[in-house]
Structure 1
Amino acid sequence: MLPGEDDISAKSLSFSENRTYSIPLPLPEIRRRVCIGSSHGWLVTVYDMSEMHLLNPVTGVQIQLPSITTLPYVCDYVEADRRYFLYKAILSLPPPADGSGDFTVILLHNPFRLHDDDFSNMAITKVGDNSWTSLPQACHDSIADIIPHKGQLYGVDARGVLHVWDHHHLTSGPKSTLKIQFYCGMTKLLVESLNGKLYMLYKGLYYNTFMAIRLDADNPEFIPENDLGDNVFFVGSNTLFSVSATKFPELGGSCIYFTDDVYFDFDNLEHEPREMGVFDVKNGSMKPIRNLGQHLHWPPPIWIIPTLF
């Protein structure tokens, strides 16, 4: 999903139909929000002074989340912080269409503004709560990415160490860790394949190249992969997911569709172009996304699988 040409619509590029759509937005101010999460068809959006919402872009249902200022180490908040302090948010379970139910929102924020060893760069809240709860520090490095996987929460830190939490006891800290080979200058991302395998992707920080490794749960260890098979991975800071190349042959197999979410000039974020493309894991080549066309640079593009439920 891309920015629309006005405040009442967004632009959607459908890969299965090879065309673009204009999607009406339920409220004009949504156009000015930043999306930090796309999970189970719901978006986690941030607007101005720390206002956070869950939004279903298909039904228009919105759920207000607690302000980021409820975290114990956040004294104040300015509009620019939504661009780089709040990094990613995921949902623990798919919520019903009306957003009811007992599910948890897990938040990652950038750690360079955090100078307290008692707190990590992770926080949680449940729908209906009035505040965020900071999780205890799991390691000396910040958590770079998180993903629900087989009833547990997996997270990889900046040095490539994999941490595993019990979904029902997140505040108790991780129950196990797995050391992975460290590659300097590469972003670390977690994604689940179609057959339920956990992959970690290394993405070049200054150039768009990828390396994929797969978790072998029997050993356990990560195994390098040069072929994703039927998997097509969609990668962005807001979400990562996989679809079948057999079901959607127009996508091509063993590919990674990506958006460039690494920002270096924070003062000009709203004017920076976002590089998007397709990386072929087999031959290491990259090509542009077809029929992308011209589009605005802000807010940043997001991947989403629409759902009514």
Structure 2
Amino acid sequence: MEHVKPVLNGDEVLEKYEVFYYDGETPRVVEEDTAVWSLEEYGHMVYLKATLSCDPSVGGCIVMLIHQPYGQLSFAKVGDDHWNWLNVSSYYRDCVYHDGWFYAVTEEGAIDAYNLHGPSVIHKRLLPQIIQTVSKCHVVRAQSGDVLQIIRRQLLNPDHDQPGSREWVTEIKVYRVDFDDQKCVNINEIGDYALFIGSSTTSCLSLKDYPDLMPNQVYFTDDDDATHIFRRDDPPEVGIYDIKNNTRVNVVHPELWMNWLPPIWLMPSLAKTGMVVP
């Protein structure tokens, strides 16, 4: 990776990684401006989110990686021996793939599109920064074709004095992106769909396919980049947010052990485990 130097011990065994802090707008700086991470810390601190263009077993898969420093982008194709750095912009928070394009959103709500299938990278700035005071911004394409931005802010918890409660709690707003007029429209109805956000892939699922889900809900997990390293005593949020009524409930009680790794959403496949469901 462009910003990473492997550090070997005297026996030429990989011991740690040195990460250099610069981006496309700032030239490479002196070596004092670095951070050194152990092998265990590196995976938590440097890799933020990976997005696949397709199932790797199909072939021709591309992986887009959001990584430190500064939430930058790098990609790799199956068979590559290194990551390819995209030095166009920084501070990306989420990325999805649709019809040949990766859509990456910055923490300020700007959306960039990248086509990586040809011999050269094609980049388009589809939406400038519009929404202010963003804590986290996610992007997803709904089955209707609309592109949605899910804005997540952290608010002071009025119930913080209660045992086991967090100091900060989540507020979520959903916007429909209008690329023609270059604006975002706040919505509190998404029909018979549910959204999933967090450290895993941002998803928009139909209740026709998943009838156990609830409409107009955002299922969210704690996805703060530093919490799982520096603030392990802060219990993570795993909950459901009603965008129509602006209310939230916990899915499970936020036990401290859940901070061992960032919580993610997953859908187990009983068929792949060999289990038979009567």
TM-score exceeds 0.5: yes
Identical amino acids, percent of aligned pairs: 26
Q: Which residue of 2 aligns with 1:103?
A: 61
Output the CA distance in 2 between the equivalents of 1:265 and 1:303.
18
Output the CA distance in 1 between the equivalents of 2:20 and 2:79.
19
Higher relative contact order (CA 8 A, sep 6+): 1
The question of whether the paired residues in 1 share the 8 Å contact of 2:126 and 2:179 is answered with no
Q: 2:47 aligns with which of 64, 86, 91?
A: 86
Asked which structure has the greater CA Rg, the reply is: 2
Q: Deviations over 1:234-289 (max 9, x none)?
A: 11122111212244343211000000111555644555432111000101011122
The question of whether the paired residues in 1 share the 8 Å contact of 2:107 and 2:134 is answered with no
Q: Deviations over 1:70-100 (max 9, x none)?
A: 999799642212222210001111233xxx6
- Give the residue type in structure 2 aligned to 1:158: E
Q: CA deviation at 1:216?
A: 3.0
Q: 1:87 and 1:111, CA in 2 relative to 1: closer, same or farther beyond 3 A?
A: same
Aligned residue for 2:145, secondary structure, equals coil
Output the CA distance in 2 between the equivalents of 1:234 and 1:170.
34
Q: 1:170 and 1:222, CA in 2 relative to 1: closer, same or farther beyond 3 A?
A: farther
Q: Which residue of 1 aligns with 2:88?
A: 138
The question of whether the paired residues in 2 share the 8 Å contact of 1:70 and 1:131 is answered with no
Q: Deviations over 1:210-250 (max 9, x none)?
A: 11111235545432211111110011122111212244343
**RMSD over aligned Cα atoms:** 3.3
The answer to whether the aligner puts 1:149 opposite 2:98 as a matched pair is yes
Q: 1:221 and 1:95, CA in 2 relative to 1: closer, same or farther beyond 3 A?
A: same
| Unaligned 5+ runs, structure 2 | 1-5, 8-15, 22-33, 155-167, 273-278
Q: Which residue of 2 aligns with 1:183?
A: 132
* Farther off after superposition, 187-196 or 261-270: 261-270
Aligned residue for 1:174, secondary structure, equals strand
The question of whether the paired residues in 1 share the 8 Å contact of 2:19 and 2:36 is answered with no
Moved over 4 A (4+): 68-77, 217-220, 263-272, 292-295, 306-309
Q: CA deviation at 1:107?
A: 0.6
The question of whether the paired residues in 1 share the 8 Å contact of 2:195 and 2:218 is answered with yes
Aligned residues: 231
Output the CA distance in 2 between the equivalents of 1:171 and 1:108.
20
| Unaligned 5+ runs, structure 1 | 1-48, 51-67, 113-119
Q: Which residue of 2 aligns with 1:233?
A: 195
Q: Which residue of 1 aligns with 2:174?
A: 212
- Give the residue type in structure 1 aligned to 2:66: L
Output the CA distance in 2 between the equivalents of 1:209 and 1:101.
39
Aligned residue for 1:196, secondary structure, equals coil
Output the CA distance in 1 between the equivalents of 2:37 and 2:122.
27
In the superposition, the TM-score normalised over structure 2's length comes to 0.70
Output the CA distance in 2 between the equivalents of 1:156 and 1:281.
21
Output the CA distance in 1 between the equivalents of 2:96 and 2:120.
16
Q: 1:302 and 1:166, CA in 2 relative to 1: closer, same or farther beyond 3 A?
A: same
Q: 1:188 and 1:123, CA in 2 relative to 1: closer, same or farther beyond 3 A?
A: same
The answer to whether the aligner puts 1:125 opposite 2:87 as a matched pair is no
Q: Which residue of 2 aligns with 1:257?
A: 219
Q: 1:224 aligns with which of 146, 171, 186?
A: 186
